[in-house]
Amino acid sequence: MKTFIPLLSLALLGFTTSLTADSPVDHKTIVPPGDALIGKDLFTGKGCYQCHNAGETKLPKVELEPRLVIELGGDLHSKWTRDDYAKAIMNPQHAVAEDYRIAMMRVGDHVKAENSPMPEFTDLLTLSDLIHLTTFLDSLTD
- pLDDT tens across 12-50, in order? 444 443 444 444 445 567 999 999 999 999 999 998 888
HSE-CB of 5 using CA atoms within 13 angstroms: 8
DSSP 8-state assignment for residue 60: P
Instruction: Please state the rounded mean pLDDT for residues 55-71.
Output: 79
pLDDT value for 13: 44
- Residue 47 CA to chain centroid, in angstroms? 12
pLDDT, mean over the chain = 76
Indicate whether 47 belongs to any domain: yes
Indicate whether 94 belongs to any domain: yes
What is the value of pTM for the model shown? 0.70
Indicate whether 75 belongs to any domain: yes
Distances (CA, A) of 102 to 24, 74, 89, 94: 22, 20, 21, 17
Indicate whether 11 belongs to any domain: no
Indicate whether 55 belongs to any domain: yes
Indicate whether 68 belongs to any domain: yes
Indicate whether 26 belongs to any domain: no
Residue among 46, 59, 51, 45 nearest 122 (CA):
46
Domain count, the chain: 1
Q: Which domain holds residue 62?
A: 42-139
Kindly state the percentage of the chain with pLDDT values over 70. 75
pLDDT value for 128: 96
In terms of pLDDT, which residue wins out, 104 or 129? 129
Residue among 90, 93, 95, 91 nearest 24 (CA):
95
pLDDT value for 142: 66
Residue among 117, 141, 116, 129 nearest 38 (CA):
129
Q: Do residues 41 and 136 touch, judged by C-beta distance below 8 A?
A: no
Indicate whether 120 belongs to any domain: yes
pLDDT value for 71: 82
pLDDT value for 20: 41
